[in-house]
Structure 1
């Protein structure tokens, strides 16, 4: 069974985007760009912080 974890190897800040990229089998750079675009809305930054706290580390 596949589980969502924050990545230890593929991280820039907390490993959230790297973990989501690994989970979805997508390049983490694409996930990082989407998070950056959502970050401009304000709610994306809050969602990233919440994900960094909730998602367990690998």
Structure 2
């Protein structure tokens, strides 16, 4: 598994779904579908997305710290 970062490629909005998909070894499209379906259910999914957007480092910045 790779580290949890927002990749620079294959982004739509912030790269959160793409980063999660890369981390868990599934396609970004599948992760986006899971997210959209989960938004139909009651709960804090959108808030979690925003929090991950803020907390997950951008891939280019994460590699510069190493």
Q: Determine if the TM-score, normalized by the shorter chain, exceeds 0.5.
A: yes
Contact 2:2 2:22 in 1 (8 A): no
Query: Residue 2 of structure 1: CA displacement?
Result: 3.1
Deviation at 1:7, TM superposition (A): 1.4
Counterpart CA distance in 2 for 1:35 and 1:48 is: 9
Distance in 1 between residues matched to 2:21 and 2:2, nearest whole Å: 13
Task: Pick the structure with greater CA Rg.
Answer: 2
Structure 2 gaps, min length 5: 60-66
Please report the RMSD computed on the Cα atoms of aligned residues, expressed in angstroms. Answer: 1.5
Report 1:1-58 matches (<5 A): 2-40=2-40, 41-58=42-59
Q: Per the alignment, in what secondary structure is the counterpart of residue 6 of structure 1?
A: coil
